Chains A and B, each alone.
Chain A
Amino acid sequence: MCKRIELKTLLINNKDSGNYYVLDGNDYFNDEEIELDIDSIDSGYLLISNIQDEKIINLNINNSHITVSLFFEKTLKQFKFNANLRQNSFLNVYAAEFSYGKVSFDSNINLLDEKCSTDWHLASLSSNDDNKNICVSINHLSPRTTATVNNYGVCKDFSKLVFSGDSLIKKGSTGSKTVQNAKTLVFDSHSDAICKPILKIDENDIEASHAAIVGRVNEEHMFYLTSRGLNVNQARTLITFGYLKPILKGFLDEDIKKSISNLIETRL
């Protein structure tokens, strides 16, 4: 069942910095699919929390400038995030993906009109026997559309973490620009991380780049920190924390910031 939600019912307050909306997954627990229209919002901030098990979120963004922060801390099976951007819209996404389980995470952002733009940031932590497939795809369907995708991951214990995603530039989308970055830190010899960035380009006059790094914690960094008396775990936690922490700047709510920090600390 797809539930259509009116954006104005989610309004929490109206700050100087813009409208602040909260979509609490608990309130829409029974609805598998949620659809939300965001129209003519100059500066908005939408927090989506308590997302669990199976959920599909569809955003139709029209003539708006909005930041969407996603916070996952529970079991997750299948999550789909679809956004359609129209008329000069800008979408900024911060996803703190600290769920657990066998996770299939799919994000699809369609840049439908000229000059639509998106910035995507994701931090993911997989531990124990998590198995996460995170796929972030961008479709450039009009000229001069821009997109940046940054995926940061930490993979430990017996977990598996896969970053993938297609950045597609359709024929005719001249002057478009797309960037894909994926970086994963691997902790243990039995944890497994894979980065599969894919660029599908069907136009000449564009800019496209991608970078993928999978690596261990730097030996020299570990030596430096342990030579000051920190044990291996403390040093690793500090380095990893520094690696995932930038996602915090996408969250305005102090309580949520704190719970993300705590979550990182306890799970490392």
Chain B
Amino acid sequence: MATLRIENLHVTVEGKEILKGINLIVQKGETVALLGPNGHGKSTLFYAIMGHPRYLITEGKIFYDDVDITEYSTDQRAKFGLFLALQNPSEVPGVINSDFLRAAVNVRKEKPISTYNFYKLLDTATKEVHMPFDLATRSLNEGFSGGEKKRNEILQMMLLEPDIAMLDEIDSGLDVDAIQVVADIIKKEQAKGMGFLVISHYARLFDLIQPTKAIVMINGKIVLEGDKELIKRIDTKGYEFIKTELGIDIEKEDVNMNEVSIGSCAVKEIVK
């Protein structure tokens, strides 16, 4: 049974500590909802798990099936069975979507997939995510709308069949029908045993995919665990109750304002 285990994880981004000791276990077959206000480290956790070079792990460890993968490269983690659907997938000009998908599908296969089988697989998958087939033959995400990019992420998840998929705000930018389509695919994969770690700000998606557990991240720490009731409570009341009930002060995102000084007339400088 594939298990992702995170122990006391501390992560620094560009010199600033974002995660301050995360402990978390996600098993295959589970669906964990990850909630929390903006800028409190949810996406950072995903990037750190996937091994993005800019997210520096200063303390703690990540285990996958009791193998310490903290020092592993991103592609090795993917080969283990981890997947991250990005909130804002990059546009990569010149790289044809289907070439990329095929290379990615082959990574976890012993024998490369035949052209015919690949196109059959791609054809079925694109239909299931309601994505026009021609998007698969265009440059990766280039000129895709927000919704098309998200569908493309789900398409990749279907083709790669990871053990544990992390979905970062997969529902943002999707219309109501598209959310339903994505939720149907998630449910299908849940039935097949895929594990999920899902970030979303909206109860709609969670209503559809029925998480087995909900956790709330504040100030780079997990402060609360619960179930569907917790999601409902946050959806209706927001995060303020955490402050009053648990006595945790929710840090606001720092907004660095440029220092602006208005000098005397006709002095042209000063704006730092």
Contacts and interface: CB of A to CB of B under 8 A. Distances in A.
Co-complex (A, B): yes
A29 interface: no
**Which secondary structure characterizes the binding site on chain B?**
mixed
B52 interface: yes
A227 B74 contact: yes
Given A219-B53, A223-B52, A228 B104 contact: yes
Nearest to A224: B90
Most buried by B among A220, A229, A242: A229
A241 B92 CA distance: 12
Nearest to B108: A229
Contacts of B83: 227-228
A226 interface: yes
Contacts of B99: 238
A246 interface: yes
Contacts of B86: 224
Contact of A229 (B90, B95, B160): B160
Most buried by B among A218, A230, A239: A230
A243 B94 contact: yes
A229 B89 contact: no
Contact of B100 (A219, A228, A232): A228
Contacts of A231: 73, 75
Contacts of B104: 228-230
B250 interface: no
B78 interface: yes
A186 to B, nearest CB: 17
**Which secondary structure characterizes the binding site on chain A?**
helix
Contacts of A228: 78, 83, 100, 104, 107, 156, 160
A221 interface: yes
Contacts of A48: none
Contacts of B94: 239, 241-243, 245-246
A227 B50 contact: yes
Contact of A239 (B52, B79, B84, B95): B95
B120 interface: no
* Size category, B interface: 20 to 34
B93 interface: yes
A168 to B, nearest CB: 31
A225 interface: yes
A223 B96 CA distance: 17
A248 B12 CA distance: 44
B54 interface: yes
Contact of A230 (B90, B96, B107, B139): B107
A230 B84 CA distance: 14
Contacts of B75: 226-227, 229-232, 235
Contacts of B160: 228-229
A228 B73 CA distance: 12
B78 A221 contact: no
B92 to A, nearest CB: 5
A242 B96 CA distance: 8
Given A221-B90, A226-B73, A230-B104, A242 B78 contact: no
B101 to A, nearest CB: 8
A234 interface: yes
Given A219-B54, A224-B86, A238-B103, A229 B92 contact: no
A242 B139 contact: yes
Interface in A73-97: none
Contact of A227 (B84, B95, B96, B103): B84
Interface in A186-233: 218-221, 223-232
B156 A225 contact: no
Interface string B103-118: 1100110000000000
A227 B75 CA distance: 5
Contacts of B74: 223, 226-227
Nearest to B55: A223
A231 B103 CA distance: 10
A230 B103 contact: yes
B174 to A, nearest CB: 20
Interface string B49-65: 01011100000000000
Contacts of A235: 75
Q: Which 8 A-B pairs have the closest CB atoms?
A: A242-B94, A229-B107, A229-B78, A228-B104, A226-B74, A242-B95, A226-B75, A224-B90
Given A229-B79, A241-B94, A241-B95, 12 more contacts: A218-B92, A219-B53, A223-B50, A225-B100, A226-B75, A227-B83, A227-B84, A228-B156, A229-B104, A231-B73, A232-B75, A238-B103
23 contacts: A220-B90, A221-B90, A221-B92, A223-B50, A224-B86, A224-B90, A226-B73, A227-B77, A227-B78, A227-B84, A228-B104, A228-B160, A229-B78, A229-B104, A229-B107, A229-B108, A230-B104, A232-B73, A234-B103, A239-B92, A241-B94, A242-B96, A242-B139
